[in-house]
């Protein structure tokens, strides 16, 4: 089989030929027909996450070494079942839920808590992923039905869609008069604006520094938008919302976006941090007690949320995001375009 692999961190991926793996035990071999290229792939490609002030979290420190195949939004056809695999048929096509734990610990025995596993085997971030012809899935329970949805769109729900959905599910209970501000209208942020009305009755205000992305957000349901690069952006948000937003979701995760979100919160507000851009928060600590705000982190979503999300998608309650397909060999151009901020929606590779 072929795979576009990281041979050296940060250097262009290389097309390599290798042995197609054999499924053992409960494993399933899936022939990949679509795999989304996610912004977080850029961090793995670079070999880690910038924590700010010269700190860097290397993926090698968590046991991920080159050559490595990225791709955590795979979708494809069941090619072969391990001798103990059950629940799917050869020839069936599924989304691969990639956020898989060790399978043995107390967290992994419950799909609600599997994300808390200390020894994850996430496809495309910990073990070889979907920038390839085939991928091994540890158990058929991680294969999710997408009947009626275009496969090039369906694969993106495994990360960008699921991340957006799970972040929205972490919002406090809100009313129709409340405002939620989403910061960043790239792949994940734009998905969140799309789903928002299926999860919360609150009005959605979207912040982005790019006018094209703000326009895209309005098109898919944002009640209003704001350019957070403007000097008086906070004052404008406070005025637009009558004193501040009830909750913010920071899909960027830069010092400036995190600070902007907190500055726009009303008293008692909640900020959900999602984006992994990097560096340190610049939020003044006295704000937490004085404004009685809280901040929490949301990372992708669990298997139950994945299935819930796909039910919403199948019901037509989640309008599609823009998708552009490219051949597997074009993975480098997709990553370069993401670095340059030139991707609206998602690029999907077609092995």
Q: Is residue 42 within the footprint of Zn ion (CB under 5 A)? A: no
Instruction: In angstroms, give the least distance from the CB of 327 to Zn ion.
Output: 20
Tell me the C-alpha distance between 94 and 19, whole Å: 23
**Interactions with Zn ion, residue window 101-120 (CB under 5 A):** 101-102, 105, 108, 117
Tokens of 56: 């860097």
β-pair type (134-137, 74-81): unpaired
Instruction: In angstroms, give the least distance from the CB of 44 to Zn ion.
Output: 10
Nearer to Zn ion, 160 or 225 (CB): 160
Extended strands (E) in 97-223 = 134-137, 143-144, 179-183, 203-207
Nearer to Zn ion, 102 or 233 (CB): 102
145 contacts 94 by C-beta, under 8 angstroms: yes
Of the candidates 145, 109, 164, the residue with the CA atom closest to the CA atom of residue 300: 164
Q: Is residue 159 within the footprint of Zn ion (CB under 5 A)? A: yes
Instruction: In angstroms, give the least distance from the CB of 241 to Zn ion.
Output: 30
Tell me the C-alpha distance between 64 and 49, whole Å: 13
Instruction: In angstroms, give the least distance from the CB of 40 to Zn ion.
Output: 4
**Count of residues touching Zn ion (by CB under 5 A):** 8
Nearer to Zn ion, 18 or 276 (CB): 276
Instruction: In angstroms, give the least distance from the CB of 250 to Zn ion.
Output: 16
Nearer to Zn ion, 12 or 103 (CB): 103
Collapsing DSSP to helix, strand or coil, 231 comes out as coil
Instruction: In angstroms, give the least distance from the CB of 302 to Zn ion.
Output: 13
Instruction: In angstroms, give the least distance from the CB of 162 to Zn ion.
Output: 9
Instruction: In angstroms, give the least distance from the CB of 265 to Zn ion.
Output: 26
Say what angle helices 187-199 and 160-169 make with each other, to 10 degrees: 40
Tell me the C-alpha distance between 94 and 154, whole Å: 9
Alpha helices in 173-232 (DSSP H): 187-199, 211-219
Nearer to Zn ion, 81 or 318 (CB): 318
CA distances from 193 to 69, 87, 155, 305 (A): 31, 34, 18, 17
Collapsing DSSP to helix, strand or coil, 114 comes out as helix
Tell me the C-alpha distance between 182 and 350, whole Å: 31
Nearer to Zn ion, 40 or 228 (CB): 40
Alpha helices in 86-154 (DSSP H): 151-154
The only residue of 40, 152, 166, 248 in contact with Zn ion, by rule CB under 5 A: 40
Q: Is residue 226 within the footprint of Zn ion (CB under 5 A)? A: no
Q: Which segment (32-40, 210-218, 268-276, 311-319) binds Zn ion by CB under 5 A?
A: 32-40
Of the candidates 50, 120, 34, 65, the residue with the CA atom closest to the CA atom of residue 280: 50
Binding mask 46-85 for Zn ion (x = CB under 5 A): ----------------------------------------
Residues at the interface with Zn ion (CB under 5 A)? 38, 40, 101-102, 105, 108, 117, 159
């Amino acid at each position: 089989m072929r795979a576009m692999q990281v041979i050296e961190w940060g250097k262009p991926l290389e097309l390599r030929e290798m042995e197609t793996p054999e499924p053992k035990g409960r494993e399933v071999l899936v022939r990949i027909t679509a795999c989304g290229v996610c912004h977080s792939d850029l961090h793995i490609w670079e070999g880690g996450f910038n924590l700010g002030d010269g700190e860097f979290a290397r993926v090698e420190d968590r046991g991920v070494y080159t050559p490595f195949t990225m791709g955590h939004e795979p979708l494809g056809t069941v090619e072969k079942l391990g001798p103990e695999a059950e629940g799917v048929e050869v020839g069936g096509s599924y989304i691969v839920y990639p956020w898989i734990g060790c399978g043995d610990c107390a967290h992994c025995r419950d799909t609600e808590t599997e994300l808390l596993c200390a020894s994850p085997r996430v496809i495309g971030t910990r073990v070889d992923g979907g920038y390839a012809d085939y991928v091994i899935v540890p158990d058929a329970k991680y294969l999710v039905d997408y009947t009626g949805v275009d496969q090039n769109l369906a694969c993106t729900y495994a990360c960008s869609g699921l991340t957006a959905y799970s972040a929205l599910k972490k919002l406090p209970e809100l009313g129709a008069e409340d405002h939620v501000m989403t910061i960043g209208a790239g792949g994940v942020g734009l998905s969140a604006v799309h789903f928002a009305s299926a999860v919360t009755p609150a009005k959605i205000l979207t912040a982005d520094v790019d006018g094209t992305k703000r326009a895209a957000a309005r098109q898919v349901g944002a009640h209003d938008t704001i350019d957070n690069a403007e000097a008086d952006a906070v004052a404008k948000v406070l005025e637009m919302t009558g004193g501040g937003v009830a909750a913010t979701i920071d899909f960027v995760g830069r010092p400036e976006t995190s600070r902007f979100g907190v500055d726009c919160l009303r008293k008692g507000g909640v900020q959900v941090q999602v984006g992994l851009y990097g560096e340190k928060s610049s939020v003044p600590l006295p704000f937490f007690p004085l404004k009685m705000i809280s901040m929490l982190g949301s990372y992708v979503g669990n298997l139950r949320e994945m299935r819930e999300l796909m039910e919403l998608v199948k019901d037509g309650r989640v309008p599609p995001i823009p998708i552009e397909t490219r051949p597997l060999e074009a993975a480098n151009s997709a990553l370069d375009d993401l670095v340059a901020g030139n991707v609206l929606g998602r690029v999907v590779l077609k092995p």
